[in-house]
Amino acid sequence: MNAAAKFDLTERVAIVTGGGKGIGARVAETLAAAGADIAVAGRHQDTLDAVAAQVRLRGRRALAFRTDVQQVAEVNALVARTLEAFGRVDILVNNAGVNRTGPTLEVTEETWDQIQDTNVKGMFFACQAVGPHMMARRRGKIINIGSIISAIGLGHNVPYAASKGAVWQLTRSLALEWAGHNIQVNAIGPGYVLTDQVRWLFQQPEFAEKILRKQPTGRVADVTDLDGTVLFLASAASDYVNGQMIFVDGASAAGWVGPE
């Protein structure tokens, strides 16, 4: 197989959680453009249907499943319905996530549980649900969406930071356990990405200036900046890459730029 052919996803099937907008929607469209059929999952049926329609415009099959990943039964149903419809799952992209900012002393139990249950518990049980099928076929790609906060601390955002740190440990540990089944488990660690969830923050001049000052490249990411990494980790090109987190952050997590 030549190098270019390794990126072809024709006849592959992918599940993308948190796929109704932002990074998840772009991931679904990127995988479809490479040939994959897509099951997109999230909490809002209207946005899921819109993403599925875009996938079909690319000539691929698509299904949209309203799913709350905090509920294990709904995660299991998502995988079962995808297998029933498509007969296989080759790729799982765990993108569903939530964030709440604020001082640690103001964090409620409800906020903690919502963040951990979405960002960690939902991810774990989605992996568990696809695991037996991938093991039986002796192939599978799992991509977990982490953050640069998987590697560095973040004050006033401790529950979220804790959840993203857990994503990296989940990724590495599961990669070790399932490597013998030819399943690759990797993660992507974006920095700030201009999605609807954060775009409003950059409309505040003081905040935008503060964040941009810390970016070695002088800009934050667009969702398209993740395309290549997503395709690499979903394809045969990464068959010997396992247990890794690739930071797509313009070097933000690498450290601080010193004075010139």
Tokens representing residue 82 in the block: 């995808």
In the block, tokens 């409309």 appear at 203
Contact 11, 90 (CB under 8 A): no
Sequential DSSP letters for 74-132: HHHHHHHHHHHHHS---EEEE-------S-GGG--HHHHHHHHIIIIIHHHHHHHHHHH
Tokens of 251: 């070097």
Q: Which two tokens stand for residue 246?
A: 């690739």
Q: What is the DSSP secondary structure assignment for residue 193, as one 8-state letter?
A: B
Indicate the DSSP class of residue 222. Answer: P
Nearest Cα neighbor of 156 from 104, 121, 93, 234 is 104
Phi/psi at 131 (5° precision): -55, -55
Catalytic residue among 65, 160, 232, 247: 160
Q: Is 94 helix (H, G, I), strand (E, B) or coil?
A: strand
The pair of three-digit structure tokens given for residue 110, joined into one six-digit string: 């409800």
Task: Identify whether 160 is a catalytic site residue.
Answer: yes
CA distance 56 to 78: 19
CA 145 to chain centre: 3
Could you give the 3-state DSSP secondary structure of residue 59?
Answer: coil
From the number of C-beta atoms within 10 Å of its C-beta (0-12, 13-18, 19+), residue 134 rates as buried
Active-site residues, by number, are 160
